[in-house]
Amino acid sequence: MRPIRISLPAAAAVLTAAVLFFASASPASNATFQPPAAASAVHQDGAAERGRPYVSTSLYFGTGRHDGKPPITDEQFNKFIADVVTPRFPAGLTLQEGRGQWRDKDGDINREKSYELTVLYPVTEARARDTDIEYIRNLYCAMWELESVGRADARVQVDF
């Protein structure tokens, strides 16, 4: 293998740049090169001091149906949100449209337009809200003859 040759001026420039880079004592460079653990501890401490304990629940609604039935339309889904979800969560919700896929009970992979609904509520209301959320999930499945509505819950700190 042939050795790599570098000219003396080029070597001096690279060495100078490296020395300046590592020897810099500016506040910006100190912040940039903090160890990852220290940076995340500051973030965690700051986040723990703000907000109140809430639960964030995300529901995943598919729109595809079985046996050749037409998919649930935007109009039908929006009516379901207005008539069923909003009265149970009048303080607010977030709805995002997406594309999803899942494997059904027959092992088939289904790709469909989907919606992710997120609601936030105080931890102290979790038991009552669970009843509302399960009602929403069960009714959606019953109305459209679907297998399931996905659910994910997480404890979060919330500040409005």
- Segment 52-100, tens digit of pLDDT: 999 999 999 999 988 889 999 999 999 999 999 999 999 999 999 999 9
**Residues 144, 82: Cα–Cα separation, whole Å:** 17
Amino acid 97: pLDDT: 97
CB contact at 8 A, 120 and 55: yes
Amino acid 41: pLDDT: 38
CB contact at 8 A, 88 and 136: yes
In one-letter notation, the amino acid at residue 50 is: R
Domain boundary assignment for the chain: 8-49, 52-158
Q: What is the DSSP string of 80-99?
A: HIIIIITTT-TT--EEEEEE
**Residues 96, 15: Cα–Cα separation, whole Å:** 52
As its CATH architecture, domain 52-158 has: 2-Layer Sandwich (3.30)
Amino acid 83: pLDDT: 98
Q: Who's near 86: CB < 8 A, 6+ residues apart?
A: 93
pTM beyond 0.75: the answer is no
